[in-house]
Structures are given as structure tokens and as C-alpha cells.
Structure 1
Amino acid sequence: MVAAFPAAGQEWRATEKVAHYPVNGTTPMALYQSVGERGPKLSLGRVIAHTTFKLTWQRDYQQQGAACVLATAKPKLVVTYTLPKPAQKLPSDVAAKWDAFYEGIVAHEKLHGEFMRDLTQQIQDVSIGLRHENDPGCQKVRAALQAQLKPISDAHVARHSEYDRVEMSPGGAVHQLILAFLNP
């Protein structure tokens, strides 16, 4: 999937990739236990699914007299969703429950992807046109850009954390997906 965003006259596209990890079992409980054993490993343990991103930039710093201007900043964003996939064919009743569970997990992870697009757009918005006077070699404007990125990054991390906290708390959307999948 590719999404285009116009920004200060510049358009960019994000690329999405899906990586699956195999889970074993033919019952909801066996599949969920396999997810717990094989899911992506994060600092606190294994998770059902995970979204990562790689963000690189092509930036054009231009000298304008003694000043330096960041004239263009074109991002390359690759968002990767790591999701579970049954390793074998499931009985039809389990497959129906799996499909609903999987679709809910995908929807949750896709919102993380949207957050990453938002982050990229925010960075581009503060980048293009950034100017620093008396900056031969464009070192001061680069430092000014880095100073602007820290609060954006901190807000981004907080947004992901709060979203996961709400979604995974008792009664949250992911919690409800798990209960619906495991309960008859």
C-alpha cells in the first residue's frame, strides 16, 4: 500500500510491508499459545503483532549568501507490520474466529502505521524552509533541525504508548479481540 502526502509542494509515498510469523495449532487456545511463544519479542516480552518503520531523508541544504536554507526534505518511509499466520489449514469455525481476530489486529497495527506517517509529515513540515543566518557550511541549520525533532519524536513515542495502553487495557479493543477469539 502506498499513501501520498502533499507537503510544501513536495509529495512523498510511504511503503508498507507485511512480514508473517508462523503459529501452530487448530484451536483458538493452541493458536494463541503459539502467538505467545513465537510473536515478535520486545523488551517486555512477546507481543501478538508489531509495527516498525525505517525513515530516511534526502535533504537539500542550500547556501543563500551567508545563510543556509533547508530547501527540500524528501522522506522515504517503509512501514513493516509483523503479524501472525497459521501454519496449517484451520477448521472452518476456528478460521472464522481467526479471521476476525486477525483483522482486528491488522486494524490496530495500521493505526500505528498512520502515526508513523503523521510523524514523517510533521518532520517534513518543520524541515522545509528552515533557515539559519550566518551559517556557512550549513552546520547551524542542521543543529536547529535536530533541536526541533526531539519534541516531535517524544510526542510520537508518547502517542504510541498511550494508544497501546488504552487498546490493551481491560475492556480495550485488543483485549476484546483476544477474549472474543478465545471464548466459545
Structure 2
Amino acid sequence: MRLTTVTLLAAVGVAGCFSSTASAGVKINVVTRTYDVTGTSGQALVASMDRSGPRHGFMARAIAQTNYTKTWDFDFTKAKGACRIKQASGTLNLNFVYPRIASPISPALEKHWKRFIDGVTAHEETHGRIAREMMAATDKSLTGLTVPDDPQCSRTRREAKRRIDAIYDEYEDKQNAFDAREHREGGHVEYLLNTLEAP
């Protein structure tokens, strides 16, 4: 079953800024929150998610959602007029939103719900994994970046931003391609909904 007013599962990436205060490595902060759904049937639970899920765009709601922000800090070194990024330190803030049943349900429906929410969680965790891979690829691209004849490190900063933006776009394409596969007709999202609504 497909819902007309719900975007079932969505990933939203938000580009971040960068500064020149350094800390070591890539830091990942994960926050998971839930919203309550109620119902005594699979159809009722789907309708509750449609009403209460996180917003996706102006009108639609999602069943579950992943969004993230990223920032980068740099430790620069200068030698003979060149600027080098000695350490690139990234922070990824990952936020997951999931539905949580807040009313009594039958053992049979609980079994269907567990299969459904396990699949939803796996989907969102894949978005999280792609975001983590993005940070690792960016870290690899930035660390050791050296620009000659750049005593103020301004060209180095511009090149770092260009690389951050390019890698971000590459991995957003991967996020979108994953969603397209999952949301296609007869795809995994449809399977999960059918599983929940099965008698």
C-alpha cells in the first residue's frame, strides 16, 4: 500500500560550515527520538503515523526520518609560504525519528509491528551509514591538503570548502538513489507496509 500524504522514509542532509579551531578525528553525535502512534490494527497504526509523523516538506509526513548536520574544523600549518591542513576534524550530528506504539495491541499485531519497525530501522540506519561514509571520505580528502603560495590560508580554505561540497553532493546522490530503490513500486517500503497491514 502507498500513502498519498506521507513520505514514508526520508533522509535530509544539511550542509554545515567550517572554522579553524581544531579537534582530533571525526566525532559523531547520535540523537534518537520517537513519536506516539495508536491503533488496534495495522491500518490504524499507518493512519496514526500519517497524522503524527515528522514533517517532510510543507504538507507531507514521514513514518520515520533521518537528518544530519556536519561541521569541519581545521588545524593549519604554514611553511615557506604554503598552507597545509595538518588535521581536519569533523562533527556529524545524526538525528533519527521513529514511531512508538503508545496503546495496547494484540500479540499478532505486535509480531507484525516488530517486523515492520525492524525494517524501518534498518532503512534509517542505512542513511546514517551513508552519512558516516561521507564524513570519512571528506576527512581523507582534506587531511594533508597543501596549497603553495598561500600565506594567509585563504586559497586553502576555498579548496577545502570545494572538496567538502563536492563530496557532500556525491553522497547526497547516494542517499537519493537508496531512497529511490526503497520507494519504487513493489519495493521494500511497500513490502514493510504490507507486512504491517497483513491480517
- Who is 2:149 aligned against? 134
CA displacement 1:63-85 (0-9 Å, x = unmatched): 12211001101222221111111
Q: Secondary structure at the match of 1:62?
A: strand
Q: 1:94 aligns with which of 105, 109, 113?
A: 109
- Who is 2:11 aligned against? none
Q: What letter is aligned with 2:32?
A: V
* Superposed displacement of residue 21, structure 1: 1.0
Partners of 2:25 and 2:88 within 8 A in 1: no
66-75 or 86-95: bigger deviation: 86-95
State percent identity of aligned pairs: 26
Q: 1:33 aligns with which of 27, 35, 47?
A: 47
Q: Secondary structure at the match of 1:48?
A: strand
Partners of 2:25 and 2:90 within 8 A in 1: no
What is the Cα-based RMSD across aligned positions, in Å?
1.5
- Who is 1:82 aligned against? 97
- Who is 1:61 aligned against? 76
- Who is 1:6 aligned against? none
Q: 1:124 aligns with which of 139, 142, 145?
A: 139
User: C-alpha distance in 1, partners of 2:169/2:89?
Assistant: 22
CA displacement 1:45-77 (0-9 Å, x = unmatched): 111111111222231112122110011012222
- Alignment of 1:72 onto 2:95: no
- Alignment of 1:22 onto 2:57: no
Q: Secondary structure at the match of 1:57?
A: strand
User: C-alpha distance in 2, partners of 1:160/1:76?
Assistant: 19
- Who is 2:21 aligned against? none
- Who is 2:3 aligned against? none
105-114 or 32-41: bigger deviation: 32-41
Q: 2:66 aligns with which of 51, 54, 61?
A: 51
* Superposed displacement of residue 12, structure 1: 3.5
Q: Which has the higher contact order (CA 8 A, sep 6+)?
A: 2
* Superposed displacement of residue 132, structure 1: 0.7
- Alignment of 1:162 onto 2:161: no
User: C-alpha distance in 1, partners of 2:31/2:41?
Assistant: 28
User: C-alpha distance in 1, partners of 2:28/2:162?
Assistant: 25
